[in-house]
Amino acid sequence: MKKQPLKAAVIGTGMIAHKAHIPAYQSMADYYTLDAVMDKTMASAQQTADLFGIKSAYDDVQKMFLEVQPDIVSICTPSATHAAFARLALQHGAHVLCEKPLALCYKETKELFDLAAKQNRMIMACQTLRYHPDYLAAHHYAQAGTLGPIYYAEFSAIRRRGIPTWGSFHRKAASGGGCLSDLGVHMLDAAIWIMGCPRFASITGTTAALFGQREEQVHTSLAESGAPAGISTKRRYNPSEFDVEGFAAGSIRFENGALLNFKTAWAVNLPPRFNLTMAGEKAGFSLPEMTLYSVLHQYQADITPRIFHEGPYDHHPFSGHFYLIENAARHLLYQEDLMVKPQETLLVTALIEGFYVAAAKGREVRADEIMNP
């Protein structure tokens, strides 16, 4: 058995660090000690350290790695910075939990997984929707063969008005993309996972950015824009800087013939909706409240399973983070299977990259254009 507890550090001390990663580490004293936080501004790092009683605060990440030598780090900075921090962490021998999306393109993601394998370290993307009990049940049914081969899937991850107003989600240079990278990525990951990570053949799609630059169009609650537990410092982004998509819709063909259609939005004149449906040869389902569509003998049957889940973190708005951070410790200490596998994150990244290329070029993009350019 490895050293226990694991020494953890958190890079980036904004919303998701405060509301998910830090409380999760601190609630698992058997597995972790949280020894340091780092942010680009010392004031923010220090404030966080004081608030949560964390030993050390840094604004220099190299110094943090050298002095603290963490076993594991959480990367909670804007998405365009993830890959560089992950690379540095792996080079310093730390395991990595990285906020989604792990990286902005397939090549960068592949390099990170290759480096992790070379260094014998774990790297996992925080795809926390997977811990929703109904999604776990859907995965279970798919794995057990209850659905039969899945030939069609679709999801909607639609906020009517819900552009994150804090941070730098609105800038491509900081975040790589808009609603697909931030919000749709959760559903895309869940769909890929439930479908068994099929090889993708091609992707096409379109984007729109109609509301982000209009001050009057973004009135919403923090909960509806992705911060159900609030944020520490309220501030509204500068609308003139908004240069990412607020709506994305696409279609993915897989080599096994299956098709996945999707739409996702931070802001669109459509009903807000978060659902995932799939059709298999033996049964289909719809989420978020699991209903199975099947046949019992000669009778069509809608089956609503009673799904009980009484985990210790269920009450928390970011409970998925707690389970994922627990899974990382149990993987490192007891070889428990990782929840989010490298090949799934590689596929998700390739699909997001392919989608943006397809939307920019106005045509279908083949998998080999992204994965073997």
Ligand X SMILES: NC(=O)c1ccc[n+]([C@@H]2O[C@H](COP(=O)([O-])OP(=O)(O)OC[C@H]3O[C@@H](n4cnc5c(N)ncnc54)[C@H](O)[C@@H]3O)[C@@H](O)[C@H]2O)c1
3-class secondary-structure state, position 267: strand
Q: Are 217 and 273 in contact (CB under 8 A)?
A: no
Size (the chain), residues = 373
Residue 232 or 261 having the CB closest to ligand X: 232
Residue 229 or 307 having the CB closest to ligand X: 229
Q: How far is the CB of 368 from ligand X (least distance, A)?
A: 28
CA–CA distance, 133 with 151 (Å, rounded to integer): 23
Q: How far is the CB of 69 from ligand X (least distance, A)?
A: 19
Tokens 């966080």 appear where?
48
Residue 44 or 349 having the CB closest to ligand X: 44
CA–CA distance, 177 with 175 (Å, rounded to integer): 6
Residue 166 or 355 having the CB closest to ligand X: 166
Q: How far is the CB of 161 from ligand X (least distance, A)?
A: 17
Q: How far is the CB of 253 from ligand X (least distance, A)?
A: 27
Q: How far is the CB of 199 from ligand X (least distance, A)?
A: 26
Residue 16 or 276 having the CB closest to ligand X: 16
Q: How far is the CB of 43 from ligand X (least distance, A)?
A: 10
Angle, CA 357 vertex, CA 352 and CA 360 arms, to 5°: 125
CA–CA distance, 260 with 57 (Å, rounded to integer): 44
Residue 40 or 107 having the CB closest to ligand X: 40
Q: Are 372 and 219 in contact (CB under 8 A)?
A: no
- Helix, strand and coil in the chain, % to nearest 5: 40, 25, 40
Q: Are 5 and 34 in contact (CB under 8 A)?
A: no
Please choose, from the candidates 177, 210, 173, the residue with its C-alpha nearest in 3D space to the C-alpha of residue 358. 177
CB-count exposure of residue 274 (10 Å: 0-12, 13-18, 19+): middle
Q: Which residues bind ligand X (CB under 6 A)?
A: 12-17, 39-41, 44, 76-79, 81, 99-100, 126, 128, 166-167, 182, 226
Tokens 């491509």 appear where?
172
CA–CA distance, 49 with 38 (Å, rounded to integer): 9
Torsion of Cα atoms, 364 then 370 then 371 then 373, to 10°: 110
Q: Structure tokens of 314?
A: 């269920």
Give me the DSSP letters along 328-343.
HHHHHHH-PPPSS-HH
Residue 230 or 257 having the CB closest to ligand X: 230
Residue 16 or 142 having the CB closest to ligand X: 16
Q: How far is the CB of 174 from ligand X (least distance, A)?
A: 7
Residue 14 or 280 having the CB closest to ligand X: 14
| Residue with smallest beta-carbon separation from ligand X | 14
3-class secondary-structure state, position 353: helix
Q: How far is the CB of 345 from ligand X (least distance, A)?
A: 13
Q: Structure tokens of 303?
A: 């089956």
Q: How far is the CB of 226 from ligand X (least distance, A)?
A: 5
Residue 254 or 313 having the CB closest to ligand X: 313
Q: How far is the CB of 190 from ligand X (least distance, A)?
A: 12
